[in-house]
Chain A
Amino acid sequence: NAGVTQTPKFQVLKTGQSMTLQCAQDMNHNSMYWYRQDPGMGLRLIYYSASEGTTDKGEVPNGYNVSRLNKREFSLRLESAAPSQTSVYFCASSASSGGYNEQFFGPGTRLTVL
């Protein structure tokens, strides 16, 4: 049982490059989330998917797009990376988005944009 997996673990981009962060969960969860973690800022929600086929903006969605490919997979795309997007990105999943279920987190992707 792998839980939540993320690829890649590390990535260095140049300003203006694009990339997609991949996330998959094997717990049959309905809801998935993308967060970024910056020093002194806590975990901030970028986008979430309450259920397969739906996506919604979180607190900091600018510069990102997401795709809920199927129930297992939720990807995060940076179309034109900026240094301000240097961060650690965490994917998470939960049985539902109502807040009554704990979230399970992936190992994180450390992204540096030069």
Chain B
Amino acid sequence: ILNVEQSPQSLHVQEGDSTNFTCSFPSSNFYALHWYRWETAKSPEALFVMTLNGDEKKKGRISATLNTKEGYSYLYIKGSQPEDSATYLCASRGNTPLVFGKGTRLSVIA
């Protein structure tokens, strides 16, 4: 089972701050990298699915980049708002089905 690592484990930021998280995954046999947003008491919801080296995706204030050669992806949130508070999961698809990291828990303080 491939290992997907996320850092930091948790993060507290002030409203209006911009922030970013890291997802590391094995670069060999790479198929796809997913980012999900998981709010407390809800289910994970997909933000992005990325497949190509150099991919950049954007949805509102949230964006993500992908480096498949070195095995990492960054998720950026610009101007954090309290409603951005959630756990952000990344997951990698290699030769096995999607493997999830443990997530980064973001708390945005108003």
Chain A interface (Cβ within 8 Å of chain B)? 33, 35, 40-45, 48, 56, 58-59, 90, 97-108
Contact = CB atoms under 8 A, between A and B. Distances in A.
Contacts, number: 57
B97 interface: yes
B86 interface: no
B97 A97 contact: yes
A107 B101 CA distance: 20
Nearest to A40: B102
Contact of B43 (A58, A102, A105): A105
B97 A45 contact: yes
B101 to A, nearest CB: 6
A45 B98 contact: yes
B41 to A, nearest CB: 9
A48 B97 contact: yes
B102 A99 contact: no
A107 B91 CA distance: 19
A108 B93 CA distance: 23
Report, as a range, how many residues of chain B touch the other chain.
20 to 34
A108 B39 CA distance: 13
Given A33-B97, A42-B101, A58-B97, A103 B46 contact: yes
B97 A101 contact: no
6 contacts: A40-B102, A42-B89, A90-B44, A102-B34, A103-B44, A106-B43
Nearest to A100: B32
A107 B43 contact: yes
B1 A100 contact: no
A99 B43 contact: no
A42 B103 contact: yes
A36 B100 CA distance: 11
A99 B31 contact: yes
